[in-house]
Amino acid sequence: MSPPPSGRDPAGSALTVAAAVRAGERRAADVVEEHLARISAGDDEIHAFNEVMADEARAAARAVDAIVAGGGDPGPLAGVPVALKDNLCTRGVPTTCSSRILAGWRPPYDATVVERVVASGAVPIGKTNLDEFAMGSSTENSAFGPTRNPFDVERVPGGSSGGSAAAVAAGFAPLALGSDTGGSIRQPAALCGVVGVKPTYGMVSRYGLVAFASSLDQIGPFAASVGDAAALLEVIAGHDSRDSTSIPRPAPSLLAGLGEGVDGLRVGVVSELMADGIAADVASRVREAADALSAAGAKVDEVSVPATVYGLSAYYLIAPAEASSNLARFDGVRYGLRVDAPTTNEMMVATRTEGFGAEVKRRIMLGTYALSAGYYDAYYGKAQRVRTLITRDFAAAYERFDVLLAPTSPTTAFRLGDKTEDPLAMYLNDVCTIPSNLAGDPAMSVPFGTGADGLPVGVQLLAPALGEAVMFRAAAVLEASAPPGPERPAAWFPAHAAVEGTRP
């Protein structure tokens, strides 16, 4: 892989680092030490990581350097540090899902995406914080405390993959992996000013991802640039026989087409996602993004996707119902936390009471209720019918348009604690991202300037199933035409700022 022909490619980008390591111009060991130094300097305040894999990263970097020294090619992401969301199984490394109930668990195997990251020559550098079991929109539901936004440490980084988004935004790793069930990659990417991608459902294997809602979960990349995100998605995508929902086709070619532009592309601005509830400064940036695509030759118009207005309601029945089933396995018997009690039933109750946090308990109870006798058809069954309507409405929109445009998050990053006492207010943060999870279609967030408060704004591109190549072409155009991003405060981690290759 080589740097893309268009879009930003900072000196510390993944593609630049990998090219230098593969050519023998830089040592992977030095790259890893630089990033470990940044983490040491800054992560006490940000808390992007639950576990820093310093020893493992150093050993992996030495192995990459040995391959280069022997005249071999370690792979397309040689020597690039990658942060892993802490719900991705990593062999021999604590994998907690930011929950007390998985205390002490070290998986005996790697998730498929972890295997593919290592096979590409990249170096896993740590496990990132998240909302417990990926249930949240702010990374405040973690058993290990919240992650903070690198651009304002009094604000949230978004969630549930807030640790991964913050790690890339802070320069702790050029790349990160997250999971997206209702917006958990795209929403934190928007709030932290980085690129975040939810691929087509089934494009990336879920083997080794600790499940939240199996029909919605999808793994995807975070990166500082569109090109870097494309490179990581090319690495992790493709069929996996160990995942029954994996699409039987190879990984897409994305980097090669980034410079093709959008001339003649049909772009629809989703009217329902620009309605009440979207902050004026965010809506303004979306309109500017539409203008930028138009100026680049795209044909831009408004489009209605009517059923998206029901997305939030349907999601908060379907996702908790699946969570209720998936989390039943955490019982104190096989692994993780065990709270002893006189009987087996009492032990299970005590373990789950102690091990699960408030939001996880809320969603388990909601899902169990929706699946219970007498309520299944009225709630879960009806939500699935709404999901079908959403899928059909998107399909109709894609008959007229190649990609769609919308906000990623209704607002910029909000303050820590602002919404923790009001679950509905928190859930509304995902109103723009949930519909594409229900439909199974790809979507991504691209940084596009700042809001009135000077914090990052992300705009969302949506595409039909397996439409990633066209979606990335449009993203490259938006990236190249984006207004300036937020300025990091001058006092922000002076030791970090002195490290060569820090993202500007």
∠ at Cα 185 (184, 191), nearest 5°? Answer: 95
DSSP one-letter code for 415 = B
CB-count burial class (<10 Å; 0-12, 13-18, 19+) for 498: exposed
Rounded to 10 degrees, what is the CA torsion of 215, 326, 181, 399? 10
Q: How far is 402 from 113, CA to CA, in rounded Å?
A: 29
Q: Which amino acid is at 319?
A: A
Closest of 161, 174, 167, 187 to residue 15, by C-alpha:
174
DSSP one-letter code for 452 = T
b/e burial code for range 113-130 (CB count within 10 A of at least 16 → b): bbbbbbebbbbbbbbbbb
Q: Which amino acid is at 162?
A: G
Report helix, strand or coil for 48: coil
Phi-psi region of 71 (alpha: psi -120 to 50; beta: other; left: phi over 0): left
3-state SS, one letter per residue, for 68-82: HHCCCCCCCCCCCEE
Cα 267 to Cα 26, 145, 406, 429, 454: the distances in Å are: 41, 41, 11, 24, 28
3-state SS, one letter per residue, for 211-241: CCCCCCCCEEEEECCHHHHHHHHHHHECCCC
3-state SS, one letter per residue, for 279-325: CHHHHHHHHHHHHHHHHCCCEEEEECCHHHHHHHHHHHHHHHHHHHH
Closest of 330, 267, 324 to residue 296, by C-alpha:
267
Q: Which amino acid is at 321?
A: A
Q: How far is 1 from 10, CA to CA, in rounded Å?
A: 16
H helices present in 95-253, as ranges: 112-119, 162-169, 186-192, 226-236
Active site residues per annotation: 85, 160, 184
Closest of 164, 284, 266, 254 to residue 476, by C-alpha:
254
